[in-house]
């Protein structure tokens, strides 16, 4: 079995709750997509409804810098 | 339309909006890389400027290294050279030119030599023989030794001293022994005591690849043979040689001859690939306005001491063309002069796959046109950057991110906030007031006052058009969108009866003038004609007028503004770089959106010119100066006795436009505007407001997210901060709002952020 590459992993550590479903978010599989590129990541995801949470630090840090790099490709 | 399509990652290769030839001829204009005048006048192409720079800083060793590149025997050259460079020194025009030759002498004497022989270098395979003695053979041997050819000199003299002395009787004892030492340090073979005859020479032909001879050997052995002075060759005798033996003639001849030898040794035609040889004319521009009229350091016939040489070299002003760099913060930021930058930006547009590293610089120019005015050759960097942007757009390689906010703002101005109405009581009008999108956003009260004034004092009706002239999409290089905006405005104008536009902004005036059907005047002209209305005021302190990029080359507008200011009782101060030379405030060309850092440097440079309050006639300038805490007014604020106060944030700018439109609709046209009312309450913490402004997130974006949250109930509760976090994808970005639910219908926003990447759940 091939080892899956994840560009980023964030564990919610039981601190985040999905308001709609009333359950805790879990570390789950997600994907960032931009300008026809995709990046597998592991983010806090609601196991029931599938809400994917992108924390502020990630959005303003890594995500922003990858965006800039892809924009200038 | 409220969304702009993001580009994909598969690029099309469509139109090339600028040809290689065109860009080359543009690059040509920039004289930054031209040699300084002293250097151009030197047949040996000595880098005089670099040499004097090193010498002026006291580093004679480094100065000597530079000098030796042109002169293998620097003392001989500096003693015998006629110094054509000196007459061409630019300082001659304002006083004493630099005493280059005496500096060179001192450098040759006091600068230590670094390279002690070249024994460790790998030698070339091809060998060279030189027959005879004199300056030409000596210099040629020196040049070829630099090129690492194995050289053998055949001469009549019995010793190296005699060989060197025969042609350098002008050297004093010290200089002679220094040059002798230098000669001994070079890797040159000597065969002394030769009698050079034809048969002697022919005999060596088999042993060496290239044969060279002094002028006298050549004359003696081949008195009738033709000689090509450009190549320093007698083709009949297959001999590299010379005709004249003066110091400069020999040195220059040796340079040309060494190149010929180099080509022959590689079996190449010596006529080709020679580059530029000898003295040339320079097109360099040097500003002499700050050159200090200093006298030459006197020289007493004994040559300069090391200290004197350093002092004299210090006087060199290091001729460079820096007119554009001095005046443009953008060029200084990227530390590249326009010739080079243009080349790189052009190449950037030609990349299909791979990184476009010049996107940022290309989008950071404010397209202000200042460089074209200050450059002695009229270099038009704005044109290069503008065309490059269009090219990136046409090949679908232009990222949307740097300009999207501004483009959406244009959609807003020409959508929800757009208004076009004839003056109440008229079907069509003689005039239409077009204040510009920034004026309505920043000073709505002033716009209203101006409109009411124009209506009351002009005959034939004054319509009102609140919207964006299209400069925004034009600056972004979105030419199709610009075309659509133009058509839209034309349509609206024709509904109003194609009135004469009274523009409130010089950039709008310029933009609208490019429409065929539209004739444009500035409100400043109209006001001067009508006379200023009652109620205006001047400032009690002197004001610095900041000229708008939109009014560059428009002396009448620049003058009109000053006249109005003075009529209002202002004392106007002129700052450096005013009028046509005015720098951009940082808003132009969308720099403020695409590159905030450069935009901030532009604003700072504008404000550095004076401590006084700034008076501008473009609302964007007014806004950027006020944001930096400077007292800043638009001329119309003074004319109409209004004060737009402290600058609005990005959401307030939008709201101001809408409110102005709705107020006017109600008051003048007696229409009840459609207004969106929220059925819940949204409050913001101060921190949230600050973050939103910094991150370009509008209250409208927040409302989009909150509406979505109220519909779906989708949110995350963060037990650490106690905040709820909801999100929605709006257009090309996902917005996240952190908030507290105060009650069923009331929320307090604590933070906001966004990203452009789309995120989805992954299966398996
Ligand atoms: S002012 Fe600037 S663009 Fe013009 S020639 Fe000089 S270096 Fe080049
Ligand atoms: S001032 Fe200096 S760089 Fe300029 S021409 Fe004279 S010697 Fe050359
Ligand atoms: S910002 Fe203005 S002065 Fe500077 S390069 Fe661009 S157009 Fe020229
Ligand atoms: Zn859920």
Ligand 3, pocket residues at CB < 6 Å? B 328, 330-331, 365-371, 381-382, 584
Distance in angstroms (rounded) separating the CA atoms of residues B477 and B484: 13
Provide the pLDDT confidence category of residue B383 given band limits of 50, 70 and 90: very high
- Mapped onto helix, strand or coil, the DSSP state of residue B124 is coil
For the segment B187-196, the average pLDDT, to the nearest whole number, is: 94
For the segment B104-108, the average pLDDT, to the nearest whole number, is: 94
Residue A21 is part of a domain; what is its CATH number?
3.10.20
Q: What length does chain B have? A: 764
For the segment B82-97, the average pLDDT, to the nearest whole number, is: 93
Distance in angstroms (rounded) separating the CA atoms of residues B587 and B406: 11
Nearest residue in A to B357, CA atom: A72
**Cα(B335) to centroid(ligand 1), Å:** 13
Q: Is A56 on the interface with B (CB under 8 A)?
A: yes
Per-residue pLDDT at A2: 43
Ligand found nearest the CA of B46: 2
B729: left (phi over 0), alpha (psi -120 to 50) or beta: beta
- By the CB criterion, residues less than 5 angstroms from ion ligand 4 are A 18, 20-21, 46, 48-49, 51
Per-residue pLDDT at B676: 80
Residue B7 reports pLDDT greater than 80: no
Per-residue pLDDT at B218: 94
Provide the pLDDT confidence category of residue A1 given band limits of 50, 70 and 90: very low
For the segment B270-288, what is each residue's pLDDT rounded down to a tens digit?
998 888 889 999 999 999 9
Per-residue pLDDT at B11: 56
For the segment B114-124, the average pLDDT, to the nearest whole number, is: 66
Range of lowest pLDDT (B35-44, B77-86, B663-672, B705-714): B77-86
For the segment B318-326, the average pLDDT, to the nearest whole number, is: 94
**Cα(B353) to centroid(ligand 2), Å:** 45
- Three-state SS string over B55-82 comes to HHCCCHHHHHHHHHHHCCCHHHHHHHCC
Per-residue pLDDT at B8: 66
Nearest to B726 by CA among B667, B687, B682, B677: B682
Residue B122 reports pLDDT greater than 70: yes
A35: left (phi over 0), alpha (psi -120 to 50) or beta: left
Distance in angstroms (rounded) separating the CA atoms of residues B574 and B615: 11
User: Is pLDDT larger for residue B9 or for residue B338?
Assistant: B338
Task: Please say whether the dihedral angle defined by the alpha carbons of residues B14, B17, B23 and B25, taken in this order, is positive or negative.
Answer: positive
Task: Give the relative orientation of helices B306-314 and B100-110 as an angle to the nearest 10 degrees.
Answer: 140
Provide the pLDDT confidence category of residue B498 given band limits of 50, 70 and 90: very high
Per-residue pLDDT at B507: 96
User: Is pLDDT larger for residue B747 or for residue B18?
Assistant: B747
Does ipTM surpass 0.90 in this model? Answer: yes
Pull the structure tokens for residue B759.
């995120």
Partner-chain contact B718 A16, CB within 8 Å: yes
For the segment A5-51, what is each residue's pLDDT rounded down to a tens digit?
777 888 888 899 999 999 999 999 999 999 888 889 999 999 999 99
Per-residue pLDDT at B119: 57
- Contact present, A2 and B726 (Cβ < 8 Å): no
Torsion of CA B226, B229, B231, B233, to 10 degrees: 30
Domains of chain B plus CATH, in order, are 20-32+322-398 (no CATH), 37-113+305-313 (no CATH), 118-265 (3.50.50.60), 402-650 (no CATH), 681-755 (3.30.2310)
C-alpha distances in Å from residue B150, one per residue of B134, B192, B452:
19, 17, 91
- Contact present, B559 and B546 (Cβ < 8 Å): no
- Three-state SS string over B176-219 comes to HHHHHHHHHHCCCEEECCCCCCHHHHHHHHCCCCEEEECHHHHH
For the segment B316-342, the average pLDDT, to the nearest whole number, is: 95
Give the mutation candidate from B756, B758, B763 for the A interface (greatest A CB count, under 10 A).
Answer: B756
Ligand found nearest the CA of B40: 2
**Cα(B12) to centroid(ligand 3), Å:** 29
Nearest to B139 by CA among B276, B261, B273, B236: B261
- Residue at token pair 């002679």: B176
Residues 6+ apart with CB under 8 A from B320: B32, B36, B284, B286
For the segment B254-281, the average pLDDT, to the nearest whole number, is: 92
Distance in angstroms (rounded) separating the CA atoms of residues B649 and B653: 6
Question: Can you name the residues that pair with B426 across neighbouring β-strands?
Answer: none
Nearest CA to ligand 2 atom 8: B38
Partner-chain contact A72 B760, CB within 8 Å: no
Partner-chain contact B757 A34, CB within 8 Å: yes
Parent domain of A66:
1-73
For the segment B141-151, what is each residue's pLDDT rounded down to a tens digit?
999 999 999 99
For the segment B238-252, what is each residue's pLDDT rounded down to a tens digit?
999 998 778 999 999
Per-residue pLDDT at B294: 78
Per-residue pLDDT at B164: 93
Range of lowest pLDDT (B233-237, B287-291, B402-406, B740-744): B287-291
User: What is the total count of domains within chain A?
Assistant: 1
- Asked if residue B91 has its Cβ within 6 Å of ligand 2, the reply is yes
CA B630 to chain centre: 27
Nearest residue in A to B752, CA atom: A56
Provide the pLDDT confidence category of residue B1 given band limits of 50, 70 and 90: very low
DSSP readout, B222-290? -TT---BTTTTEETTTTEE--S--SHHHHHHHHHHHHHHHHHHHTT--TTSS----S----------TT
Per-residue pLDDT at A13: 84
Pull the structure tokens for residue B129.
């023989």
For the segment B356-379, the average pLDDT, to the nearest whole number, is: 94
For the segment B623-629, the average pLDDT, to the nearest whole number, is: 96
Q: What mean pLDDT, rounded, does chain B reach? A: 93
């Amino acid at each position: 079995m091939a080892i899956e590459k994840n560009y980023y992993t964030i564990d919610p550590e039981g601190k985040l709750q999905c308001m709609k479903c009333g359950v805790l978010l879990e570390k789950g599989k997600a994907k960032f997509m931009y300008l026809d590129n995709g990046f597998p990541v592991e983010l806090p995801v609601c196991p029931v409804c599938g809400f994917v949470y992108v924390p502020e630090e990630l959005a303003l840090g890594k995500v922003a810098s990858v965006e800039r790099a892809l924009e200038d490709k | 339309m409220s969304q702009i399509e993001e580009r994909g990652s598969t690029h099309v290769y469509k139109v090339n909006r600028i040809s290689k030839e065109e860009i080359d001829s543009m690059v040509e204009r920039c004289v930054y890389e031209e040699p300084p005048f002293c250097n151009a006048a030197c047949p040996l192409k000595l880098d005089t400027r670099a040499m004097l720079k090193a010498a002026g800083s006291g580093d004679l060793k480094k100065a000597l290294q530079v000098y030796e590149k042109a002169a293998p025997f620097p003392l001989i050259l500096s003693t015998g050279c006629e110094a054509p460079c000196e007459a061409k020194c630019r300082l001659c025009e304002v006083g004493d030119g630099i005493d280059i030759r005496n500096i060179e002498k001192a450098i040759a004497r006091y600068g230590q030599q670094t390279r002690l022989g070249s024994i460790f270098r790998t030698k070339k395979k091809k060998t060279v023989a030189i027959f005879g003695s004199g300056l030409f053979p000596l210099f040629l041997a020196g040049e070829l030794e630099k090129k690492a050819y194995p050289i053998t000199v055949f001469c009549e003299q019995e010793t190296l001293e005699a060989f060197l002395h025969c042609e350098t009787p002008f050297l004093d004892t010290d200089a002679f022994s220094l040059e002798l030492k230098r000669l001994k340090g070079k890797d040159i073979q000597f065969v002394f005591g030769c009698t050079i005859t034809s048969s002697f020479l022919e005999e060596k032909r088999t042993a060496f690849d290239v044969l060279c001879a002094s002028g006298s050997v050549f004359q003696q052995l081949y008195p009738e043979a033709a000689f090509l002075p450009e190549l320093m060759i007698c083709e009949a005798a297959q001999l590299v040689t010379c005709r004249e033996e003066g110091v400069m003639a020999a040195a220059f001849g040796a340079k040309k001859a060494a190149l010929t030898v180099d080509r022959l040794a590689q079996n190449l035609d010596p006529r080709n690939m020679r580059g530029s040889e000898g003295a040339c004319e320079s097109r360099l521009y040097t500003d002499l306005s700050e050159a200090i009229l200093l006298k030459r350091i006197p020289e007493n016939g004994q040559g300069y001491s090391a200290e004197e040489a350093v002092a004299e070299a210090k006087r060199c002003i290091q001729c460079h063309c820096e007119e554009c760099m001095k005046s443009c913060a953008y060029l200084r930021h990227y530390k590249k002069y326009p010739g080079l930058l243009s080349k790189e930006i052009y190449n950037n547009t030609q990349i299909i796959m791979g990184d476009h590293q010049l996107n940022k610089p290309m989008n950071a120019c404010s397209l202000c046109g200042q460089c074209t005015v200050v450059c002695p050759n009229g270099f038009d960097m704005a044109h290069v950057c503008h065309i490059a942007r269009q090219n990136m757009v046409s090949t679908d390689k232009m990222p949307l991110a740097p300009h999207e906010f501004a483009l959406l703002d244009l959609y807003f101005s020409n959508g929800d906030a757009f208004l076009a109405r004839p003056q109440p009581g008229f079907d069509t009008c003689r005039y239409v007031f077009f204040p510009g999108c920034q004026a309505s956003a920043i000073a709505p009260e002033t716009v209203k006052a101006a409109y009411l004034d124009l209506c009351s004092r002009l005959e034939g009706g004054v319509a009102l058009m609140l919207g964006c002239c299209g400069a925004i999409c034009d600056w972004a290089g979105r030419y199709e969108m610009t075309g659509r905006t133009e058509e839209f405005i034309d349509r609206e104008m024709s509904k109003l009866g194609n009135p004469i536009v009274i523009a409130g902004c010089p950039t709008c005036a310029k933009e609208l003038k490019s429409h065929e059907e539209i004739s444009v005047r500035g409100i400043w002209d109209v006001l001067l004609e009508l006379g200023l209305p009652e109620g205006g005021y001047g400032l009690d302190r002197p004001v610095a007028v900041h000229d708008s990029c939109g009014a560059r080359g428009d002396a009448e507008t620049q003058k009109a503004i000053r006249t109005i200011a003075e009529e209002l009782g202002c004392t106007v101060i002129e700052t450096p770089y005013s009028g046509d030379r005015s720098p951009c405030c940082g808003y132009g060309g969308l720099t403020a959106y695409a590159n905030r850092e450069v935009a901030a440097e532009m604003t700072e440079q504008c404000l550095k010119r004076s401590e006084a309050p700034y008076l501008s006639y473009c609302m964007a300038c007014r806004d950027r100066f006020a944001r930096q805490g400077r007292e800043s007014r638009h001329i119309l604020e003074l004319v109409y006795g209004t004060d737009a106060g402290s600058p609005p944030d990005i959401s307030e700018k939008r709201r101001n436009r809408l409110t102005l439109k709705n107020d006017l609709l109600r008051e003048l046209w007696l229409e009840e505007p459609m207004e969106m009312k929220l059925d819940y309450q949204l409050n913001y913490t101060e921190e949230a407001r600050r973050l939103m402004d910094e991150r370009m997130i509008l209250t409208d974006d927040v409302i989009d997210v909150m509406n979505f949250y109220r519909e779906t109930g989708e949110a995350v509760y963060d037990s650490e901060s106690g905040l709820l976090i909801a999100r929605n994808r709006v257009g090309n970005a996902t917005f996240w709002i952190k908030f507290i639910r105060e009650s069923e219908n009331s929320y307090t926003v604590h933070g906001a952020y966004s990203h452009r990447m789309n995120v989805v759940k992954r299966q398996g």
